[in-house]
Amino acid sequence: MFGLVEREMNGRCYIEIVPNRKSKTLLKIIFDRVEEGTTIISDSWSSYEKLKDLNFNHLKQSNGYLRIHIKSFIDEFMWRQTVARDRVAAFNQIIQEIAVFYPADSLKNSVKRKALEIEKASYENPIPSKIASTAVSNVLEKPKGQDKIQCHLCKAVGKMKFVENDWGLKIHKSRCHKDKNVKGKK
């Protein structure tokens, strides 16, 4: 199970059942669901190491919770965020949910049950966007040590200038290659 929570008073939440916790799986979800440039606060799980390459700010925070407890914490948090914020509402909602899954007359609720099964299937087998799949594959397939981008204008005049990312390349070009008609001019 993987979840995202926006840290604001009325923050949005997203949760998904995932087949594994590998970078390829988690980064695609983040790429699809989180706005580029957002600061992401996570634990120090290695799957998040490439967040900066996907144009996210990343802060690592360690917590004292055992990993086995996290799923139940997320379940309860998501349920309270989306369903019931106080005890009376929570109790009433639990009774309603029990009535849906254990109806007195099973034929009467078969349509609702089928709808819930279809909804559950969509959460269990989500499909990331093609853009997310491409962006994450490009980041994860870069060999170690080739994370930097070489300026092709400098390379054309025999110089070796490397930058961290596309934004760094843009800044470098604006500072060092102002006259675009003359390659390599400083």
pLDDT, residue 65, reads 57
Residue pLDDT tens, the chain, 186 long: 788 888 776 678 888 888 888 999 999 999 999 988 888 888 878 888 889 889 998 888 766 555 556 677 777 777 777 766 676 777 777 777 777 776 666 555 666 667 667 666 666 667 778 888 888 888 777 655 556 778 888 888 888 787 877 788 888 888 888 765 444 444
pLDDT, residue 185, reads 42
Let me know: does 51 contact 30? Beta carbons within 8 Å. Answer: yes
Give the integer Cα–Cα distance in Å for 50 and 144: 12
H helices of the chain, in order, are: 23-33, 67-82, 87-101, 110-124, 130-140, 152-156, 166-176
Give the integer Cα–Cα distance in Å for 111 and 5: 32
Let me know: does 57 contact 37? Beta carbons within 8 Å. Answer: yes
pLDDT, residue 182, reads 43
DSSP state of 52: G
DSSP state of 143: P
Domain boundaries along the sequence of the chain:
2-124, 148-186
pLDDT, residue 103, reads 63
pLDDT, residue 108, reads 55
- Give the three-state DSSP class for 41: strand
Give the integer Cα–Cα distance in Å for 110 and 112: 6
